[in-house]
Amino acid sequence: MDNIIVIAIIALGGLGLIAAIILYFIANKFKVFEDPKIDEVEDALPSANCGGCGFPGCRAYAEATVKSAKENGHLEGLNCPVGGNEVGQLVGKILGLEIEAKDPLIAVIRCNGSHTNSPAKVKFEGATSCSFAHALYGGEGGCQFSCLGLGDCVDVCDFDAIHMDSETGLPVVNDKCTACGACVVACPRDIIELRKRGPKEKRIFVSCVNKEKGAPAKKNCSVACIGCGKCEKVCNFDAITITSFLAYINFDNCTLCRKCVEVCPTNAIHEINFRPRKPKAEKPKIVAPAADSSITRKPVVDKTVVKSDSKETIADNKIGKEPVITKTVVTKKPIDNKDNKE
Amino acid sequence: MGILRTFALGGIHPAEDKLSSNAPIETIPVPKQAIVPLGQNLGAPSKPIVKKGDMVKVGQLLAEAGGFISTPIHSPVSGKVFKIDNAIDGSGYKRPAIIINVDGDEWDDTIDTSEKIESEIKLNSKEIVDRIKSCGIVGMGGATFPTYVKLMPPPGKTAEYLLINGVECEPYLTADHRLMLEKGQEIVIGVRILMNALNVKKAFIGIENNKPDAINHITELVKSYDGIEVQPLKVQYPQGGEKQLIKASVNREVPSGKLPIEVGCVVQNVGTAFAVYEAVQKNKPLFERVVTVTGKAVKKPSNFLARIGTPISQLIEAAEGLPEDTGKIIGGGPMMGKAITSLDIPIVKGSSGLLLMKKEESTRAAENSCIRCSKCTYVCPMGLEPYLLSRAAKLGNFEMAENESIMDCIECGSCQYACPATIPLLDYLRLGKMKVGSIMRNRK
- Mean of pLDDT values over B30-54: 92
pLDDT at A307: 41
Residue length of chain B = 444
Do both B181 and B51 map to the same domain? no
**Same domain, yes or no: B152 and B64:** no
Q: CA dist B434 to A308, B42, B150, Å?
A: 63, 15, 24
Residues B214 and B84 in one domain: no
Domain C-terminal end among B282, B308, B338: B282
Contacts of B267 (CB under 8 A, 6+ apart): B150, B163, B164, B165, B242, B245, B246, B260
Tell whether the model's pLDDT for residue B57 goes beyond 90: yes
Residue A280 has a pLDDT of: 58
* CA angle (B59 as vertex; B53, B64 as ends), nearest 5: 75
**pLDDT recorded at residue B2:** 62
Where residue A95 falls among pLDDT bands split at 50, 70, 90? confident
**Model confidence pLDDT, tens digit, residues A12-62:** 999 999 999 999 999 999 988 888 889 988 998 988 888 888 888 899 999
CB–CB contact A137 B88 (8 Å) = no
Neighbour tally for A185: CB within 10 Å: 15
Q: Which of the four pLDDT bands, split at 50, 70 and 90, describes residue A274?
A: confident
Q: Which residues make Cβ contacts (< 8 Å) with residue A138, sequence separation at least 6?
A: A144, A146, B88, B92, B93, B94, B341
Residue B87 belongs to a domain with what CATH number?
3.10.20.600
Please report residues of B whose CB lies closer than 8 A to that of A135. Answer: 430-431, 434
Are residues B266 and B341 both part of a single domain? Answer: no
3 state SS for chain B: CCCCECCCCCCECCCCCCCCCCCCEEECCCCCEEEEECCCCCCCCCEECCCCCCEECECCEEEECCCCCCCCEECCCCEEEEEEEEEECCCCCEEEEEEEEECCCCECCCCCCCCCCCCCCCCCHHHHHHHHHHCCCECCCCCCCEHHHHCCCCCCCCCCEEEEEECCCCCCCCHHHHHHHHCHHHHHHHHHHHHHHHCCCEEEEEEECCCHHHHHHHHHHHCCCCCEEEEEECCCECCCCHHHHHHHHHCCCCCCCCCHHHHCEEEEEHHHHHHHHHHHHHCCCCCEEEEEEECCCCCCCEEEEEECCCEHHHHHHHCCCCCCCEEEEEECCCCCCEECCCCCCECCCCCCEEEEEEHHHHCCCCCCCCCCCCHHHHHCCCCCCHHHHHHHHHCCCHHHHHHCCHHHCCCCCHHHHHCCCCCCHHHHHHHHHHHHHHHHHHHC
Residue B427 and residue A127: Cβ atoms within 8 Å? yes
Residue among A123, A129, A212 with most chain B CBs within 10 A, to mutate:
A129
Q: What confidence category does residue A301 fall into, taking pLDDT thresholds of 50, 70 and 90?
A: very low
Specify which residues B99 forms β-bridges with.
Answer: B35, B83
B299 shares a domain with B278: no
Residue A78 — very low, low, confident or very high, per pLDDT cuts 50/70/90? confident
Q: Determine whether the interchain pair B341/A129 forms a contact, defined as Cβ–Cβ distance below 8 Å.
A: no
pLDDT for B210-247, tens place per residue?
Answer: 999 999 999 999 998 889 999 999 999 999 999 999 99
Q: Left (φ > 0), alpha (ψ -120 to 50) or beta: where does A109 sit?
A: beta
**Among B99, B427, B439, which would you mutate to test the A interface (most chain A Cβ atoms within 10 Å of its Cβ)?**
B427
Selecting from A122, A127, A135 the residue whose C-beta is nearest the C-beta of B341 gives A122
Q: Distance from CA of residue A192 to its chain's centroid? A: 10
List the end-to-end C-alpha distance of chain A, in Å, as a whole number: 93
Percentage of chain B beyond pLDDT 90 is 77
Q: Do B428 and A144 touch (CB under 8 A)?
A: no
Using CA atoms, how far apart are residues B404 and B401, in angstroms rounded to an integer?
A: 5
Distances (CA, A) of A300 to A331, B337, B401: 19, 59, 59
Cβ neighbours around B16 below 10 Å, total: 17
Q: Is the pLDDT of residue A199 over 80?
A: yes
Domain limits, chain A? 36-95, 105-272, 282-341
pLDDT number for residue A337:
42
A132: nearest CB among B92, B93, B430:
B430
Examine the domain organization and report whether B138 and B265 are in the same domain. Answer: yes
Same domain, B306 and B271: no
Disruptive mutation site among B86, B93, B95 for chain A (greatest number of A CBs within 10 Å): B93
How many distinct structural domains can be found in chain B? Answer: 3
Nearest CA in chain B to A122: B341
The domain of B331 spans 25-105+287-361
Residue B136 sits in the same domain as residue B208: yes
Regarding whether B253 and B135 lie in a shared domain, the answer is yes
Q: Cα dihedral sign for A206, A211, A216, A220?
A: negative
Residues B134 and B255 in one domain: yes
Q: How confident is the model at residue B120, as a pLDDT?
A: 87
Instruction: Give residue A290's pLDDT band: very low, low, confident or very high (50, 70, 90).
Output: very low
A216 contact residues in B (CB cutoff 8 A): 94
Residue B54 forms part of a structural domain: yes
For residue B366, is it within any domain?
no
Q: ipTM of this predicted complex?
A: 0.83
Q: What is the pLDDT of residues B259-284, one digit of tens each?
A: 999 999 999 999 999 999 999 999 99
Burial (CB count <10 Å: 0-12, 13-18, 19+), residue A71: exposed
- From A117's Cα to the closest Cα of chain B, the distance in A is 19
In angstroms, the separation between the Cα of residue B332 and the nearest Cα of chain A is 14
Q: Taking CA atoms, what residue in A is nearest to B431?
A: A132
Q: How confident is the prediction for chain A on average, in pLDDT? A: 80
Final residue of a domain: which of B315, B339, B361? B361
Give CATH superfamily name and number for A36-95.
Electron transport complex subunit B, putative Fe-S cluster (1.10.15.40)
Arithmetic mean of pLDDT, B107-124: 89
- Contact assignment for B434 to A135 by CB distance below 8 Å: yes
Residues from chain A contacting residue B431 (CB–CB below 8 Å)? 127, 129, 131-132, 135
User: Residue A139 pLDDT more than 90?
Assistant: no
From A91-100, A102-111, B202-211, the region with the lowest mean pLDDT: A91-100
The answer to whether the A36-95 and A105-272 domains have the same CATH topology is no
Q: How confident is the model at residue B363 (pLDDT cuts 50, 70, 90)?
A: confident
State the SS3 of chain A: CHHHHHHHHHHHHHHHHHHHHHHHHHHHHCCCCCCHHHHHHHHHCCCCCCCCCCCCCHHHHHHHHHHHHHHCCCCCCCCCCCCHHHHHHHHHHHHCCCCCCCCCEEEEECCCCCCCCCCCCCCCCCCCCHHHHHHHCCCCCCCCCCCCCCCHHHHHCCCCCEEEECCCCEEEECCCCCCCCHHHHHCCCCCEEEEECCHHHCEEEECCCCCCCHHHHHHHCCCCCCCCCHHHHHCCCCCEEEECCEEEECCCCCCCCCHHHHHCCCCCEEEECCCCCCCHHHCCCCCCCHHHHHHCCCCHHHHHHHHHHHHHHHHHHHHCCCCCCHHHHHHHHHHHHHHHHC
**Single pTM value for the model:** 0.80
Of the partner residues A121, A125, A129, the one whose CB lies closest to the CB of residue B431: A129
**Residues of A contacting chain B (CB within 8 angstroms):** 121-122, 125-127, 129, 131-132, 135-138, 142, 144, 212, 216
Domain boundary among B337, B361, B385: B361
> Quick check: A279 pLDDT over 70?
no
Are residues B82 and B166 located together in one domain of the fold?
Answer: no
How many Cβ atoms from other residues are within 10 Å of residue A175's Cβ?
A: 8
Report residue A285's pLDDT band, with 50, 70 and 90 as the boundaries: very low
| Class of the CATH domain delimited by A105-272 | alpha beta
Please judge whether A127 and B394 are an interchain contact, meaning their C-beta atoms are less than 8 angstroms apart.
yes
pLDDT-based confidence at A141, cuts 50/70/90?
Answer: confident
Facing B428 at nearest CB: one of A127, A212, A216: A127
My answer on whether B43 and B182 are in the same domain is no
Residues of chain B in contact with residue A136, where contact means CB-CB under 8 angstroms, are 92, 338
Residue A60 neighbours by CB under 8 Å, 6+ apart:
none
Interface mutation vs chain B, best among A121, A137, A143, A156, most B CBs within 10 Å: A137
| Cα B290 to the center of its chain, rounded Å | 11
If pLDDT is split at 50, 70 and 90, which confidence band does A90 have?
Answer: confident
* Tens-digit pLDDT profile for residues B341-354: 889 999 999 999 99
Contact check, Cβ <8 Å, A127/B364: no
- A121–B364 C-beta distance less than 8 A: no
Is B4 contained in some domain? no
pLDDT tens, residue by residue, B300-330 = 999 999 999 999 999 999 999 888 888 899 9
In this prediction, residue A281 carries a pLDDT of: 54
Cβ-defined contact of A144 to B394 (cutoff 8 Å): no
Query: Residue A280: CA atoms inside 13 Å, Cβ hemisphere, count?
Result: 2
Tell if the CB–CB gap between A125 and B394 is shorter than 8 Å.
Answer: no
Contact B424 A135 (CB under 8 A): no
Cβ within 8 Å, pair B88-A126: no
- Residues of chain B positioned with their CB less than 8 A from the CB of A151: none
B421, pLDDT greater than 60: yes
